Chains A and B, each alone.
Chain A
Amino acid sequence: MKASLYRFPAWPGTVALLVVGYGVIPIVGNSYLFEAILTPFLALSLAAVGLNLLTGYAGQVSLGSAAFMAVGAYAAYNFNLRVHGLPLLATFVLAGLVATALGIVFGLPSLRLRGFYLAVSTLAAQFFVQWALTKFSWFSNNNPSGVIDAPSLRILGLSFDSSIGRYLFALTIVVVLTLLAWRLVNTQIGHNFIAVRDNELAARVIGVPVLRTKLLAFAISSFIVSVAGVLWAFAYLRTVEPAGFNLDRSFQIVFIIIIGGLASIRGAFFGAALLVVFPLILSRVGSFLLGDRFDSGVLDMSQRIVLGLLIIFFLIAEPDGLAALWDRLKRRLLSTPNNL
Chain B
Amino acid sequence: MPDFDILFFLEVLVGGLLAGVMYSLVAIGFVLIYKTSGVLNFAQGSMVLLAALTFVSVRERGVPFWAALLLALAVMVLLGMSIERTVLRPLVNKPPITLFMATLGLSYVIEGAAQLVWGTQVHGLDLGIDDTPLEFGGILVSKFDLVAAGIAAAMVALLTGFFRSTRIGLAFRAAADDQLAALAVGLRLPRIWAAAWVAAGVVSLVAGLLWGARLGVQFSLSLVVLKALPVLVLGGFDSILGAIVGGLLIGASEKLSEVYLGPLFGGGIEGWFAYVIALVFLLVRPAGLFGQKEMA
A/B touching: CB–CB < 8 A: yes
Q: Are A304 and B112 in contact, with the CB atoms below 8 A? A: yes
Tell me, yes or no, whether B296 is within 8 Å of chain A by CB: yes
A128 and B269 CA atoms in complex are apart in Å by 9
Per DSSP, chain B at the interface is: helix
Min CB distance A260 to B, Å, is 13
- Shortest C-beta distance, A246 to chain B (Å), equals 11
A109 contacts the other chain (Cβ, under 8 Å)?
A: yes
Residues of B within 8 A of A128 (CB): 272, 275-276
15 interchain pairs (CB within 8 A)?
A: A117-B282, A120-B229, A120-B275, A120-B279, A124-B275, A127-B272, A301-B111, A301-B116, A302-B116, A304-B108, A304-B112, A308-B108, A312-B106, A312-B109, A319-B98
Assess whether B108 is in contact with A121, with CB atoms less than 8 Å apart: no
Given contacts A114-B296, A115-B97, A301-B115, are A121 and B102 in contact (CB under 8 A)? no
Seen from chain B, the residues whose Cβ lies within 8 Å of a Cβ on chain A are 40, 87, 90-91, 94, 96-98, 100-102, 104-113, 115-116, 120, 226, 229-230, 233, 237, 265-269, 271-272, 275-276, 278-279, 282-283, 286, 295-296
Closest 9 interchain pairs by CB? Answer: A308-B108, A311-B105, A304-B112, A308-B109, A305-B112, A124-B275, A127-B272, A301-B116, A308-B105
Q: Is the CB of B101 within 8 A of A124?
A: no
Chain A residues numbered 297-314 whose CB sits less than 8 Å from any CB in chain B: 297-298, 301-305, 307-312
Q: B102's contact among A247, A298, A305, A315, by CB below 8 Å, is which?
A: A315
**What are the residues of chain A within 8 A of B87 when measuring CB–CB?**
312, 316
Q: Smallest Cβ distance from A90 to chain B, in angstroms?
A: 32
Tell me the minimal C-beta distance from A98 to chain B in angstroms: 20
Interface centre among A117, A131, A247, A319 (most CB of B within 10 A): A117
B272 and A124 contact, CB distance less than 8 A: yes
Known: A120-B233, A308-B112, A315-B98. A301 touches B295 (CB 8 A): no
B108 adjacent to A305 (CB under 8 Å): yes
Give the docked Cα–Cα distance between A254 and B100 (Å). Answer: 12
A135 engages B112 (CB within 8 Å): no
B130 to chain A, nearest CB (A): 32
Contacts of B105 in A (CB 8 A): 255, 307-312, 315
Known pairs A120-B279, A121-B278, A311-B101 / 4 extra A-B pairs, C-beta < 8 Å: A117-B286, A305-B113, A308-B104, A315-B98
